[in-house]
Chain A
Amino acid sequence: MADFTLARDSYGKLTLTDATGVEHRGISPVRAFPIADPEHGIALMSAEGHELVWIERLGDLPDEMRILLEDEIAGREFMPSITALRDVSSFSTPTVWQVETDRGPASFTLKSEDSIRRLGQDALLIADSHSIHYLIRDTRALDRHSRKLLDRFL
């Protein structure tokens, strides 16, 4: 069972009170494997960047704390998942992509083909010119048009 408590202060920061009763303000939850295994292994890091608590599985926590952490993670992690490619401005880089993501429609500039990284068999991680990472979980799940566009860059 958790031997610590969490609360959000008026500045919107998370405060952790550990087993010995010490308060740590402004902690941040960090996923150890945000892509490979997001559900397991979450560390609570102090504002100074030291690990305070290691949580094996988010689901083991009491609901209230879990929701707090999930909220905080949702506000920290930004990796839109591309669900479809609408259009690309050209097939040679740099090129502007119009995409649909799980966070709404977006457009970004792909600086070079090297910014597309393979993760395992069918997943891709695409970094745009501002180092925002877009994820394609399964290239085979995209529609034909998207796959055709994408194929030109792989």
Chain B
Amino acid sequence: MDKNPSTLPLPEHGRAAVQSQLVAGESVLSWLELDLDTRLHFARTLLVLTDQRLLSKEASGAWHVWPLTGELSLQNFDHAGVGTLELLDSRTRLTHWRYTLEFDPAVRDFITGFTHQLAGTRPVAEPTVCPTCGETIPAGIKVCPDCAPEEDNERNGWALLRLARFARPYRGRLLLGFLLTLTATAATLVPPYLTMPLMDEVLIPYQNGHPIDFHKAWLYLSGLLAAGLVAWILGWARTYLLALVSENIGADLRTTTYNHLLRLSLEYFGGKRTGDLVARIGSETDRINVFLSLHLLDFATDVLMIVMTAAILFSINPWLALVTLLPLPFIAWLIHKVRDKLRHGFEKTDRIWAEITNVLTDTIPGVRVVKAFAQEEREVARFRDANQRNLAVNNRVNRIWSLFSPSVTLLTEIGLLIVWAFGIWQVSRNEITVGVLAAFLAYISRFYTRLDSMSRIVSVTQKAAAGAKRIFDILDHVSSVPDAAHPVHLEQVRGQIELRRVGFRYGNRAVTKDVSLTIQPGEMIGLVGHSGSGKSTLVNLMCRFYDVSAGAILLDGVDIRALSVDEYRSNIGLVLQEPFLFFGTIADNIAYGKPNASRAEIIAAARAAHAHEFILRLPHGYDSLVGERGQSLSGGERQRISIARALLINPRILILDEATSSVDTTTEREIQGALDNLIQGRTTIAIAHRLSTLRKADRLVVMDRGEIVEVGDHDSLMAQEGHYYRLYQAQLRNVDTEDFLDRRTHG
């Protein structure tokens, strides 16, 4: 079977229909099946390209045919997740088709094939790089042969069982713990066994007029004491050992999850709420932890105990044992009934818990806005609502649960009753002695308490399972900027960046289209354009925060997807539009990208960023703590710290996204002077709204609505009187066009 269906001459289900339409000698070149009709209803439309005609079969079954002539052309565009494919001649649109974005790559391939057929050329297929493993994919194949998607069965397995992967390193200790549990449990089962001879050989004979055999009594009693002591020591050892192991497993789980989370792309974080992630990594790992260290241990002990007890009971008297086990199937049935309900309930509580955390992580960082607009009441109401929902869901869970537990207790009580009755009956028929009955009762009272506590674990298990599922949600997520499996290593980075027909969309929103640009090593590029024209997006792509949706970005001629992400980024110094400072000292913040930097290096970087003086004016100098989100510093100060941070790692490539937007003109000039020196010899991409800051740029690249519209130096762009000219003129008048319009409409 061919791996790639679109290279097949025709889809299975349309083959006969298409063949009936073909004329003699006509051969099918390619086909395309789209999923919407022109009214945007889900329906299959088939397009077929032959060497002579373009055919289309509507959902109604009607065929349309266009003979291929030179003036036909196909073009596509999309909006809000729906694409349009148009067939045009030189004067009009002949027809159009609609599709969801899922079909976008196929549509583009089809258009390429169509264009080449009209022009009489052959498509040149460019090899691409697999986004997952970094291997070059041979031209014409869409799925990387090295990592064709595997059916992932494990994912659907029971989430808790998947935790076993984290237990593997502790195998030895777990085995020891299990053996300890086994012996400890066995030791606790000795005392009831000794009640049998105590009864039958000491007490009953006494009642029947024989004197008490003190020797025997002492023997059995010391046996009881010994068993108790052994059980105590073994129990202590195994509890400690296993609790230690499970804490370790829990800690591993938490670190692994966090590690995985931080390696996910910005796209993932863009779609997640902070509170949700905090809840997952914080409280849910903890819940699993508690489950492993307390409940699972108890459960294991209980199961062992029950099995052993059952074995002993059967060895003493099979009939009585059978009666004792009577409630078991009922309890199993109850557990089965209640388990799924509980888990859904707990999944719901988890989600709502995340929502409560979300409210907190929303409002606490935004507390200034909340206060400024006096919306405390409203935020409290939001919190109360979430809390109320939590109550409601918990209430549902509790309703089920509150019925479950007493039901189990009732069943065991009835069980006890039956054993009494059956036992008395058997004693009366002299089938068993009173001692046996007493031992039985001693055993089963334990047995049933165990059963009771074991059934309780259903709740915690389901809780942990719900938590584990949400943890594995994170762990199963594959980064959308995956590290190459066999990364190419660049010995010496020169710093040449090439954008090759780069297209990108955030979700269904196309932001950049067909951007091509080559930046030479050491060149400084000024990126200008209106707000929202896609400048930061381009920077995000160059930093590989996101992967391109079409085209490629190459560093020194190598696709950046083939490089290791860490190695690639270590070559980039980035100053962001919104500088972020971590909680810690100023020195720590400057040295963030190079934690082992010497103090001298830190100071040099701070001096270069013109941050040195203001830092010295702070009460603790470089040791001053900057608060969460760096609130104790002004916007411009924060920005200078982040410039110092970028400079310290001495990168080959420097990216400045509005690096000087929130400083006054004097400071800006100072920083500019420092930057001018640092730019020397580095590939630099600088974004600035104040066009004057880009006077040193070798080339200016003007962006407009996601496309590069002009490239050149200041003078030539001014001479063109195009986009740049207008931007520049608007700034001379000292008003941004949008501001200007605003002012005009608001009086």
Contact = CB atoms under 8 A, between A and B. Distances in A.
B40 A114 contact: no
A132 B469 CA distance: 26
Interface stretch (A16-24, A60-68, A99-107, A138-146): A99-107
A78 interface: yes
Contacts of A92: 155-156, 469, 473
A98 to B, nearest CB: 12
A73 to B, nearest CB: 11
A12 B80 CA distance: 19
A11 B93 contact: yes
Interface string B492-509: 000000000000000111
Contacts of B155: 92
Interface string A103-132: 111100000111100000000000100111
Contact of A11 (B88, B273, B351, B705): B88
A133 B81 contact: yes
A75 interface: yes
B39 A112 contact: no
Given A92-B155, A131-B507, A103 B469 contact: no
A10 B90 CA distance: 11
A132 B100 CA distance: 8
Interface residues of A, number: 31
Contact of B91 (A10, A77, A80): A10
Contact of B101 (A80, A115, A131): A131
Contacts, number: 72
Given A76-B79, A78-B80, A130-B102, A49 B93 contact: no
Contact of A132 (B43, B81, B88): B81
Given A12-B93, A92-B156, A112-B473, A106 B80 contact: no
B40 A103 contact: yes
A154 to B, nearest CB: 7
Nearest to A93: B473
Nearest to B80: A78
Contacts of B272: 114
Nearest to A48: B705
A76 B39 contact: no
Contacts of B102: 130
B344 A152 contact: yes
Contacts of A11: 88, 92-93
Contacts of A114: 271-273, 276
Contacts of A106: 42
Contact of A104 (B41, B101, B344): B41
B473 A101 contact: no
B96 interface: yes
Contact of A74 (B36, B40, B91): B40
Interface string B16-60: 000000000000000000001011111100000000000000000
Interface in B242-287: 271-273, 276
Q: What band does the interface of chain B fall in when counting residues whose beta carbon is under 8 Å from A?
A: 35 or more
B42 A49 contact: no
Question: Majority SS of interface residues in chain B?
Answer: mixed
Contacts of B100: 78, 130, 132
A78 B101 CA distance: 12
Contacts of A154: 348, 351
Contacts of A76: 79-80, 82
Given A114-B276, A131-B507, A49 B705 contact: yes
A74 B41 CA distance: 11
A74 B86 CA distance: 17
Contacts of A101: 42
Contacts of A12: 86, 93, 96
Contact of A75 (B40, B344, B348, B705): B40
B95 to A, nearest CB: 9
Contacts of B96: 12
A115 to B, nearest CB: 8
Contacts of A152: 344, 347
Nearest to A12: B93
Nearest to B89: A10
A127 B344 CA distance: 22
A114 B42 CA distance: 25
Interface in B85-116: 86, 88, 91-93, 96, 98, 100-102
A48 B707 CA distance: 13
A39 B181 CA distance: 70
Contacts of A10: 91-93
Interface in B700-729: 705
Contacts of A112: 271, 473
A105 to B, nearest CB: 6
Contacts of B92: 10-11
A1 B362 CA distance: 45
B158 to A, nearest CB: 11
B534 to A, nearest CB: 13
Contact of B508 (A74, A80, A105, A130): A130
Contacts of B273: 114
A151 B42 CA distance: 26
A116 to B, nearest CB: 10
B145 to A, nearest CB: 23
A80 to B, nearest CB: 8
A80 B82 CA distance: 12
B81 A77 contact: no
Contacts of B507: 127, 131
Contacts of B86: 12
B704 to A, nearest CB: 9
Nearest to B505: A131
A104 B272 CA distance: 31
Interface in B375-393: none
Given A112-B271, A154-B348, 17 more contacts: A10-B93, A12-B93, A76-B82, A78-B40, A78-B100, A80-B42, A92-B155, A104-B42, A114-B272, A114-B276, A130-B81, A130-B100, A130-B508, A131-B81, A132-B101, A133-B81, A152-B344
11 contacts: A10-B91, A10-B92, A12-B93, A75-B40, A78-B80, A80-B42, A92-B155, A103-B40, A113-B351, A127-B507, A152-B344
Closest 8 CB pairs of A and B: A131-B508, A10-B92, A131-B507, A104-B42, A78-B82, A103-B41, A132-B81, A11-B93
